[in-house]
């Protein structure tokens, strides 16, 4: 005797509650001790199983099987198990059992089907004349039937075949081929930046990581944003918003103290970059005679106008990160904090309102600023992972 199980939930119109298991593991029957209320057999449902199954004295019976969500697809049970319904299981159980009994063995596909399926999954859909960006199980099943490989196959069966071959064609991964070789010059630049981040600085030195966060939109909403409430009610933000321009944030992070210098501008050009450099020249104390600037290779940072300005201000020494190595600019980590804590919900009235809130966030950050720890262990991991970029 197996553990009692209820195969489906009864409805208001009728019900059969199935609790006991007879001599065969394929059958579950309701005993005479369990009442049967307002249930009428239809669609060929049997009142009792065949005598060969050694089940006697039961008022009604249906096939016993695992929950419909756990039953493997393609085993001849297409109609017996459903996610809902009162008599759906009981009414169709005997029909499903007869289909299973007539076939004798579970339905299967020849190896040629799996070979053709794997071939399809390893090709772009355009080669098959399909306007798809990538395959999924439903589209692969349709393609197999359209090409006449099989008369019928389910998406779940396709998924199991692909899982056996460790294939997931519905996923994609971005990759980037470096335009510049990862040669000795690359390692020299990386080593220089790592030394700049980790070595003890003189009293008259400072290292600033400089970059821009562009296209910051105010996005005013038609309704005010509502705060979180008890009973698991989250912050509520209106979906619609208006266009109100955009700002570009120029920011520089002091790698030793974590202090941030920031200014917002309407555009991102060399003129704005020079204006921000002049702001840094005013804000950094005069005893600091050498300001190391870590920048990426965007033209805003090494254009002719900026180059002439740097030449007139020997206090600034510029260090450029390698191409596609923005992860070496520490201000990017602070940008992620700004995005998560201040810009995730964008509901500012105007650009001036957005500019004021960003300035306030920078002031609050500087009150408890902290640097990002670039330990020797972290440096070793970066250097060990650098060759992988060239692969």
Note whether 100 and 118 are same-domain residues.
no
Q: φ, ψ for residue 316 (rounded to 5)?
A: -95, 130
Q: What was the pLDDT predicted at 157? A: 94
Note whether 90 and 120 are same-domain residues.
no
Work out the mean pLDDT of the chain and round it to a whole number: 77
Q: Looking at the domain assignment, is residue 286 inside a domain?
A: yes
Distance in angstroms (rounded) separating the CA atoms of residues 19 and 115? 44
Q: Looking at the domain assignment, is residue 228 inside a domain?
A: no
Q: Looking at the domain assignment, is residue 83 inside a domain?
A: yes
Q: Looking at the domain assignment, is residue 171 inside a domain?
A: no
> Do 42 and 92 contact (CB within 8 A), yes or no?
no
Q: Looking at the domain assignment, is residue 135 inside a domain?
A: yes
For residue 26, with 0-12 CB atoms within 10 Å meaning exposed, 13-18 middle and 19 or more buried, which class applies? middle
Q: What was the pLDDT predicted at 60? A: 37
Grade residue 182 by pLDDT with cuts at 50, 70 and 90.
Answer: confident
Grade residue 55 by pLDDT with cuts at 50, 70 and 90.
Answer: very low
What confidence tens digit (pLDDT) does each residue in 5-48 have?
443 344 443 443 333 333 333 333 333 333 333 334 444 444 44
Distance in angstroms (rounded) separating the CA atoms of residues 309 and 70? 69
Note whether 204 and 313 are same-domain residues.
yes
Note whether 196 and 332 are same-domain residues.
yes
Note whether 264 and 316 are same-domain residues.
yes
Contacts of 379 (CB under 8 A, 6+ apart): 194, 197, 198
Note whether 154 and 193 are same-domain residues.
no
Note whether 253 and 376 are same-domain residues.
yes
SS3 assignment, position 272:
helix
Q: Which one is predicted more confidently, 319 or 28?
A: 319
Note whether 337 and 364 are same-domain residues.
yes
Grade residue 184 by pLDDT with cuts at 50, 70 and 90.
Answer: confident
Note whether 102 and 115 are same-domain residues.
no
What confidence tens digit (pLDDT) does each residue in 241-276 have?
999 999 999 999 999 999 999 999 999 999 999 999
Distinct helix (H) and strand (E) counts, the chain: 11, 8
Note whether 300 and 268 are same-domain residues.
yes
Q: Looking at the domain assignment, is residue 229 inside a domain?
A: no
Note whether 193 and 133 are same-domain residues.
no
What is the pTM for the complete model shown? 0.64
Containing structural domain, residue 76: 1-107
Note whether 191 and 49 are same-domain residues.
no
DSSP secondary structure letter of residue 295: E
Q: Looking at the domain assignment, is residue 204 inside a domain?
A: yes
Residue with tokens 């996005």: 219
Q: Looking at the domain assignment, is residue 145 inside a domain?
A: yes
Instruction: Domain count for the chain, please give it.
Output: 3
For residue 175, with 0-12 CB atoms within 10 Å meaning exposed, 13-18 middle and 19 or more buried, which class applies? exposed
């Amino acid at each position: 005797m197996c553990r009692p199980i209820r195969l489906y939930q009864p409805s208001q119109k009728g019900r059969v509650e199935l609790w006991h298991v007879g001599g065969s593991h394929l059958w579950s029957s309701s005993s005479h001790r369990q009442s049967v209320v307002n249930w009428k057999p239809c669609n060929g449902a049997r009142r009792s199983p065949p005598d060969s199954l050694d089940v006697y004295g039961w008022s009604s019976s249906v096939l016993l099987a695992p929950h419909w969500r756990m039953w493997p697809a393609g085993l001849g049970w297409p109609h017996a198990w459903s996610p809902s319904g009162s008599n759906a299981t009981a009414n169709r159980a005997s029909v499903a059992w007869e289909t299973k009994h007539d076939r004798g063995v579970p339905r299967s596909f020849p190896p040629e089907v799996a070979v053709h399926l794997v071939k399809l999954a390893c090709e772009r859909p355009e080669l098959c004349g399909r306007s798809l960006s990538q395959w999924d199980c439903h589209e692969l099943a349709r393609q197999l039937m359209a090409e006449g490989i099989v008369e019928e196959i389910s998406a779940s069966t396709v998924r199991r075949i692909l899982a056996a071959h460790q294939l997931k064609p519905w996923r994609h991964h971005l990759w980037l081929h470096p335009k510049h070789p990862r040669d000795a010059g690359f390692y020299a630049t990386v080593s220089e930046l790592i030394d700049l981040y980790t070595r003890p600085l003189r009293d008259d030195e400072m290292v600033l990581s400089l970059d821009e966060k562009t296209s910051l939109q105010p996005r005013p909403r038609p309704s005010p944003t509502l705060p979180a409430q008890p009973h698991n009610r989250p912050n509520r933000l209106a979906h619609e918003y208006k266009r109100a321009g955009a700002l570009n944030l120029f920011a520089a992070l002091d790698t030793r103290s974590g202090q941030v210098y920031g200014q917002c501008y309407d555009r991102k050009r060399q003129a704005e970059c020079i204006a921000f450099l002049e702001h840094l020249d005013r804000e950094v104390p005069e005893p600091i005679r050498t300001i190391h600037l870590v920048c990426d290779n965007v033209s805003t940072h090494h254009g002719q106008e900026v180059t002439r300005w740097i030449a007139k201000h020997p206090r600034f020494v510029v260090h450029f990160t390698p191409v596609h190595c923005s992860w070496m600019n520490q201000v990017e980590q602070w940008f992620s904090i700004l995005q998560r804590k201040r810009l995730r919900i964008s509901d500012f009235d105007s650009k001036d309102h957005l500019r004021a809130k960003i300035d306030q966030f920078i002031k609050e950050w500087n009150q408890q600023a902290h640097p990002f720890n670039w330990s020797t262990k972290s440096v070793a991991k970066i250097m060990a992972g650098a060759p992988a970029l060239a692969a």
